[in-house]
Amino acid sequence: MKLIIAIIKPFKLEDVKAALTAVGVSGMTVTDVKGFGRQKGHTEIYRGSEYTVDFLPKLRLEIAVADELVASTLDAILGSARTGKIGDGKIFVLPLGDLVRIRTGEQGESAV
């Protein structure tokens, strides 16, 4: 099993969700986050004053998948979240030691 963490632009959430549902991903956790990478933020003007926005709004998706779904999940996220512009985000793939469904006590891949 793997834990896939994807940082994406907020307006791409519905596209990513639809693509993940199409490949068989049954659930995910979405968190509002702020951050920056190479983009380094930007400047804005508010009431005549210029200020720098260092941290940009992003969404963090956390998805637990079985090993055989990793490649299709990555392809779905890449295909649906990419705009081709700076700030599209990142995807991290981490090994997942164990998983337990609280309601039933199921463990491992059956709990995904």
Pairing outcome for strands 2-8 and 56-65: antiparallel
* pLDDT tens, residue by residue, 21-77: 999 998 999 999 988 777 666 666 767 777 676 778 899 999 999 999 999 999 999
Residue-number span of the structural domain to which 59 is assigned: 2-111
Which of 11, 56, 7 lies closest to 35, judged by CA? 56
Q: Residue 2 half-sphere exposure, CB side, CA atoms within 13 Å?
A: 17
Kindly give, in sequence order, each residue whose CB lies less than 8 Å from that of residue 65, ignoring residues fewer than 6 positions away.
Answer: 1, 2, 4, 25, 73, 112
* pLDDT tens, residue by residue, 92-104: 999 999 999 999 9
CATH number at residue 13: 3.30.70.120
Structural domain count of the chain? 1
